[in-house]
Structure 1
């Protein structure tokens, strides 16, 4: 028996009864979703299943994916030597143009799936924080790590000690899903349940600075006495299965956009590259940032001749944003400067909220596809130092909508 995750569309039978078509998971085209007014309804079940149980479930047409649970972990940042303070606006907020934008994210609900939040921090005063703990324990459990608090501060934090840290400080509704424990680890079922919760709760943006822990699963199995070859094979199958499950959830989100406008998912690219060792020591974007329809974000640093890509930032992101010397909220009060694609991701999550707000004022349908299109088309490709590889910085530096009529 093994702990398994079942991703199901609870409206599948109703859609079939009304003559609606199902999902085309091969091309993920517009045929998936709902006709006759019946949207998909994702559900996540976690059960102990035998191989026979799993095979039986795979014959159930309402089951979109079934996979073994695997560990997830935060994309670990490092503390910066930069002083946590000074000036009136963080360099990241200024670099993406949020400080001069006509928009502040008002009216847009965001979700942060991470280690939780310090709800008493002054940066979150006036924000209605809907907290849910998927790791066990009370929903009110605070952030015992610091990672989630820092990320949330960059998205919607209010000024701290006269310093603007938030890209979208007009946000007043935030969903805080604790999908990682205070040690920064969790299970993939926690992430999937958090995603479903956020989407069902009306979040228009989901920010996640975490990844599937493939090496961690191999180590866990070996520590349990599994032969290395078998541990690697089982871990690979779990990794592939979890990617399919993530894609199945994203497919349903995309189909549901016909009814609720959709949700934009933003994820950190990962910190596995080590360009300080060799220019060729580059690791590609990790999952879930590499999954279908996710906006992956790489990390940038300030340079004398323009922006540079951080040595640790994984290559092939869709967009890039400030990820070095990023000052944001610190658990217990005050601020701290951290480095990581974890710090770049919330800049883009905040910008996505600004683009939702900006698009709401235009005479066009308000959808996640439209928001993503504007976000990706508004990048700055001229802010970089000479020699920065396009593959490393993606389509460019993500930017805020400047003003009305964008």
Structure 2
């Protein structure tokens, strides 16, 4: 018996009749998709086979473990006793005329300490998908949220888009930092329904963890690896299909439409080891249509890629010695692509506001992504940094 994620398109039954009246139109032009995520528990192979054949079902995958991309210790990080978070100026948010005002941001993580001074005066809507209750006992989600839209704390600026007024906090990881693909997909659907324009995810599909889980159940190693690979593949397909459906909703929206998803590339590389090695961007950051983010650090002569940052991201952002909100109060410095990802989410909020302010009423996520990626800078790096390590460049706020 197995738990499964089932993705449905609730308009599927009505499409054949509509298409017969308009044969030249594609299904997405006839009627918008209506995605619905269901987590079905304890199904047999026969039962899930029957579900998969239903006319509304467009994707099925075994529920897979997810986990936060944990911050790591890094000797290059230096504690700062005063001053703003250095990433704010590095991405040009300190000189940008935009603040993120009017943009809705979703953070899918370990929750948030909504009573922290960094979030004073904001409208914060929390929903728990992890089963461990709202709030943030782990601290990761609070730190990420602080970098995206946190207000100043004790006179120190930590937030990129301090004008964001409404935030959606989907707790998809429990107090130990673990979750499931079912929780993630359900939260993405919720964020889309609530009209989030930017989504930040500093988490990954836990392939090694699933292999160990299956081995613990007595499965032979080759079978455990095979089963985990199938789950990894099928969850990626469901993820891609869900995001495709969400993008297909944009032309049907009334008002500013679209949802840009930003994800951390991962911390598995070992550039400082002997011999050095680089791990490719992990899922879901490597999925289609997602802005994947690598981490950079300050060096003499320009920015350098952090030793832990996974390769082939689309863009890079500050990820070492990042000052932000600490759950329970105060501020804390952390390192990781988890810390770089919210810099890009915050800059994306600034670009959303900029595009809308210029009179483009229905820009869609693609228009914002084009500006976000097209404005990335390459003239700020040390000479040895390669495109495969830093992507298109350092993400930069509108000026």
Q: Is 1:248 the equivalent of 2:244?
A: no
Is the Cα–Cα contact under 8 Å of residues 84 and 335 in structure 1 kept in the other structure?
no
CA–CA distance in structure 2, aligned partners of residues 265 and 61 of structure 1: 29
Pick from 75, 79, 95: which aligns with 2:69? 75
Distance 2:81 2:246 in 1: 39
From 180, 184, 195, the counterpart of 1:191: 184
The more displaced of 206-215 and 253-262 is 253-262
Secondary structure at the aligned position of 1:240 is classed as helix
In the alignment, the residues of structure 2 paired with residue 184 and residue 377 of structure 1 have an alpha-carbon distance, to the nearest angstrom, of 34
Q: How does 1:206-245 map to 2 (within 5 A)?
A: 206-245=199-238
Q: Which runs of 5+ in 1 are unaligned?
A: 22-30
Instruction: Please tell me whether residue 148 in structure 1 is matched to residue 173 in structure 2.
Output: no
Residues 93, 166 of structure 1: 8 Å contact kept: yes
Per-residue deviation, 1:60: 2.5
Paired position in structure 2 for 1:17:
17
Q: 2:310 is paired with a residue of what secondary structure?
A: coil
Q: Which moved more, 1:6-15 or 1:322-331?
A: 6-15
Q: Deviations over 1:161-218 (max 9, x none)?
A: 1111000000010000000001000111010001000110110011000000000000
Change (3 A) 1:126 1:33: farther
Aligned residue for 2:19, secondary structure, equals coil
- 2:164 matched to which residue of 1? 171
Secondary structure at the counterpart of residue 342 of structure 1: helix
Q: How is 1:237-316 mapped onto 2 (pairs within 5 angstroms)?
A: 237-260=230-253, 261-278=257-274, 280-316=276-312
Q: Give the conservation status (yes or no) of the 8 Å contact 2:132–2:175.
A: no
1:33 touches 1:256 (CA, 8 Å); kept in 2?
A: no
* CA drift at 1:278: 4.1
CA contact under 8 A between 1:299 and 1:310: conserved in structure 2?
yes
Q: 1:84, CA displacement in angstroms?
A: 4.7
Deviations 1:312-349, CA, capped at 9 Å, x for gaps: 00000001000001000001111000000000000000
Structure 1: distance between partners of 2:80 and 2:27: 47
Tell me, in whole angstroms, the C-alpha distance in 2 between the residues paired with 1:344 and 1:250.
22
RMSD of aligned alpha carbons? 1.6
SS of the aligned residue for 1:18 comes to helix
Question: Which residue matches 1:99?
Answer: 94
Q: Is 2:380 aligned against 1:387?
A: no
Aligned mates of 1:83, 1:280 — CA distance in 2: 27
Match among 21, 43, 47 for residue 49 of structure 1: 43
1:78-98: CA deviation from partner (whole Å, max 9, x where unpaired):
2565225412x3110100000
Q: TM-score, normalised by structure 2?
A: 0.95
4-13 or 315-324: which moved more? 4-13
Aligned partners of 1:278, 1:252: CA distance in 2, in Å?
A: 44
Matched residues in 2 for 1:194 and 1:150: separation?
19
Assess, with a 3 A threshold, how the Cα gap between structure 1 residues 43 and 358 changes in structure 2: closer, same or farther: same
Question: 2: distance between equivalents of 1:204 and 1:143?
Answer: 23
Going from structure 1 to structure 2, the CA distance change for 1:152 and 1:20 (only over 3 Å counts) comes to: farther
* Alignment equivalent of 2:117, drawn from 118, 122, 129: 122
1:396 corresponds, among 369, 393, 396, to: 393
Confirm or deny that 1:328 pairs with 2:317.
no
CA distance in 1, matches of 2:252, 2:309: 36
Tell me if the contact between 1:352 and 1:371 (Cα under 8 Å) persists in the aligned partners: yes
Aligned match of 1:27 = none
1:352 aligns with 2:348: yes
SS at match of 1:52: helix
Aligned residues: 390
Q: CA deviation at 1:259?
A: 2.1
Query: Alpha-carbon deviations, 1:52-102, whole Å to 9, x = none?
Result: 222222222321110100100000002565225412x31101000001000
Compare 76-85 and 176-185 and name the one that shifted more.
76-85
